[in-house]
Structure 1
Amino acid sequence: MKNFILPFLTFIISIALHAQNVVISRPADAEYGTLSIQSSEENSGIFSADNFELTEETALGELDVYGYVEDGIDYSSLLVGINVYIYEDNSGVPAGNPSQSGTGVLELHNIDPSLFTLEANNDGEVNFKSIKIKEANGGSAVILPAGSYWLSVSAYATGSFSEQEYIKPWSWMGSTTENSAAQVQIIDPEDILEFGVTSWIPYSSTLGESFPTCAWELRDEAMSSIEDNIIEGFKMYPSLVDDILNLKATNDIINVSIYNLLGQKVLNTPETTINMSGLPSGTYIVKVNTTREEGSYKVIKK
């Protein structure tokens, strides 16, 4: 019995450590949605964004997004990938947009279909399920501090906005379950629809009636799964760094990469005595490679 119980408990603990918690849940229960589509041929598009709040530091795990297209369209043959952008809040609107590279805290353009599940049916539903944020970000964890943000998701599909090869638009379904702090926004940076919506405006103002939030669900990545201590004899000190971070391991350390909470690499070195004085205060992920192993660890810079 003992031989059975120990592996079983280890299995249960492993599941608990890597379980994902639902952070945001907005079910698809509205009768209509808002356009959010980009042409893979022209790179022009019409984008929508939904506001959300994080009450604590959160590592982004997987994302489900619910939408629809015109009935009878096989969207699997048209979809190239999807775009996921996250922006900070700027007085009730996103502090950037998908046509302006570098304005988002997270910009995942043309996520490969292998990193999400396309769920479609004959009624026109086209959902993007289990979008793997970390993998789409090149394997780097994405950790956002508490605050107000905007999520913009769009289909990246074949076709153009010309009359000859008109793109088949995807719409992000609405949700009536939860009220966000700000209204859903829409932008048409190149004025494709000729409505003059070249800056973010509330989608409700184009409809003439109230529009709910958008339908999506965000699950977190357990913080314990980010810190993966598998390197033999590894030591890292101090845990609260003023200037110098020291690393030791049984096998030779050949490379160290340090990432900020947005998954951006801020330092790369083969050294085991690392000067972090030039980095802002905050939490960082330290990825360590030895001649035989690899591990990731959290450190706080004072």
Structure 2
Amino acid sequence: MLRKLTMLLLFFLTINSYAQEDAWIYLTDKSNVAAALANPITILTQKAIDRKQNHNIPIDQRDVPVNEAYISDLKIQTGITVLAKSKWFNAVHVRGTETDINALSALAYVDSIDFADNNLDTASRSTTIQDKTDIEDENVVFTYGDTQNQIEMINVDDLHVADFTGEGITIAVMDSGFPNVNTLGAFQRLRDNNDLLDGYDFVNRNADVYASTASSHGTRVLSTMAGFVQDEFVGTAPDASYYLFLTEDVSGENPVEESYWVEAAERADSLGVDMINTSLGYTTFDNSNYDYTPADMNGQVTFISKGASIAVEKGILVVVSAGNSGATAWQTVGSPADSPNVLSIGAVDANGDYVSFSSQGGAAQVGYQKPDVVARGGAAYVVNQNNTITQNNGTSFSGPIMCGGIASLWQAIPNASPTEVMDYVRESASQFSSPDDFLGYGIPDLDVARSIALSIDDGLIEDFGFYPNPVKDEINLRLPEILSDADVSIYNQLGQKVLSQSILENSQTINVSTLSTGIYLIKFSSENSSQTFKFIKQ
């Protein structure tokens, strides 16, 4: 009996010694940095360079690729498999035994090692994927059909009528599979307009992003933005351009998927992408030693959340589904939705009411609100891999519905920065003045967001001007130089006039401190013209 126990103990020790671990290897330096920064076209596309210049985003050392000589050397180290790389972090994701990975610290170009199992690190970290598919079963005139409710809920239809349909905005979609997007009728318009740009499968390391049929989740996600079936189905940004990146391995849960995501985000940045949409989220893994905790959802712990924050620094607007954990013990948003720099989207039903699966804000998000806003994710309409219009539940769909809507908004206000666009979206939402952990700032009105943006730039809206917006007490008013007087009237959402005043000078104010919080119209009237705009009273 003793001999059997001894043999059993030796067996488990042997298994443990050969257990495969995941780790990030952080490197000391990069090669030819000065030359690359002096000639950025060697490391970025012209579209990426132009986007950064337009938003005053510096091109820095993080844009320079990882030293390929280091990667080649890592690949020949004993027991080491290289799975992914990140130029932003100057890191490589590897797999091997704990012993073989620790041996890499002897290499001159290795700065530090961070194991996915933080118990193996010499210095521990503080913090799973929850928003998976587990819950998800001239002027433009569209007949929206099934998508009318989810379009009108966030007022994208008004943007479409004004011919803002996402044209000129490029979106990278990070997901788990896009089967049949290259053949389905629902994406024929997308293909005919040459707006289906390219793709890459980071899991299987090939360019055929449509080949993997393990999951059709990405197909359904894309349809909420780009799908078009005449008189039956219209996405929120049918004329935007799309890159498709497969970063999620549905066969299991492993931290390498975070690395795939960051690598895809870096590819998106180098291609000049304007927005990233992702319906993925990370909280727990197949190996429980890698698990995060709700306390880790502060935007500072997980590799993917830190990568998403860098993407925003690089000038990309990142829209993330909040997660489907609202009715579970986990409850709070996952990563990268926990990053304060991304726009995290929760879910409501067709009536605009909170749905119980939508992940909530939590104690870990100190000083910022999650989710940010919400859209329809309860029984949302999507197109599946069989070209059938159907309904699915999940923030996986409220997220892209909102992402496409914001793309249409951004087309209308192209000079706005990503962070400004996110601010306008929050400010237009239904409970901006009293956010909570269920709906965040509420349901946005994206046409109101456009009006807010147009009024922010030095308070000028075409010829007439007012600022600030939103406002607490006083609105500053301005007239065109050619006018000496005008009348200003304010109306509530019922169309009732609640204030009026004459402007007799070039600059004057109107006191709105007595108005209730909400959305109002302000109308400027002169002898020959009038203009009406929306504003928010806080």
Q: Which has the higher strand share?
A: 1
Higher-helix-fraction structure: 2
Structure whose CA Rg is larger: 2
Q: Which has the higher contact order (CA 8 A, sep 6+)?
A: 1
| TM-score for both structures, normalised by structure 1 | 0.28
**Normalising by the residue count of structure 2, what TM-score does the alignment of the two structures yield?**
0.17
